[in-house]
Structure 1
């Protein structure tokens, strides 16, 4: 853990498993009426599953394949959020949330690129994967606990229609 990571953890401690589960339960309830939000939650679940696949793969080829699938999913998800969701978050929920989200996405991409160049059977690889997973879990928690519910509450009907139409299109650009 870097010095900056330690400071960030002290200021905003990581959510517990129970807190993440409660946020997921609430966001799934909100997603029932919002197609764009349902897609985001499904992608969050897929991302979590891909971290598990990378962690449990038994050989180097399996770990590399899992990380490539994870990187593809995270990139498609991030690009759709950055292009479609975060501009609306910035307008309706706050520029600070959007700026933090963009930064977290960028750092995740950097860390995944490092992970791809490491020996997938080494301890350093496992530590890096765990570090990235922890950061992504915290990011997902922030989105599901406050940023996205806030957006559901504050976004206009026009913004929600835009999110419903464009989020799927933007995600498909990278992942279909």
Structure 2
């Protein structure tokens, strides 16, 4: 772990499972089922499941496949946040939180690029997975427990945010009935096109 990683860990300590679950439940309680926040929470659930699939994968081939699936949902989700939700957060008077959110996702993208270059059969691959997982789960906790609650409360044109978030997510991931990866994105991931350096939450 680099010096920068250690410093960031002290600034933003990782919440435990109980706190993360409580934040998700509280956010669900104020989200409408057809709104942007509900979609974000669904994507967060999918991201958590993809991380678990990466942790459970044993062979190098299975690890690469799980990593690619994770990368697709992370990229589509992070792009939608960066194009739609973070600007809205800044416009709602939360510029510091918006800037912090962008910074964290940029760091995650850099970590993802490093992870891609690590041989999946090595212990270093699992170490990097755990590092990225911890950072992304903490980032999602910040969104669910604070940033996006402010956005839900303060932002005008909530329907517009929903339409735009969906549009940007589907632009990358494709349309899917459950709000997750579309068929085209999943096919790209299986071919090895969906990884890249795009990562965040």
Instruction: Indicate conservation of the 8 Å contact 1:76/1:171, yes or no.
Output: yes
Q: For 1:148 and 1:129, locate their aligned partners in 2 and report how far apart those are by CA, in whole Å.
A: 26
Indicate if the aligned counterparts of 1:93 and 1:150 stay in contact, CA closer than 8 A. Answer: no
- Secondary structure at 1:46's aligned position in 2? helix
Q: In the alignment, what sits opposite 1:86?
A: 86
Q: Does 1:161 align with 2:159?
A: yes
The TM-score, its normalising length taken from structure 2, stands at 0.83
In the TM superposition, what are the counterparts of 1:23-172 in structure 2 within 5 Å? Answer: 23-32=23-32, 35-156=35-156, 158=157, 160-172=158-170
Q: Distance in 2 between matches of 1:171 and 1:123?
A: 33
Q: Give the Å deviation of 1:129.
A: 0.3
* Separation of aligned partners in 2, 1:93 and 1:75: 26
Q: Residue 135 of structure 1: SS of its match in structure 2?
A: helix
| Superposed CA RMSD | 1.2
Moved over 6 A (4+): none
Task: Give the corresponding residue for 2:187.
Answer: none
2:189 aligned residue: none
Contact 2:35–2:159 under 8 Å retained in 1: no
The count of aligned residue pairs is 174
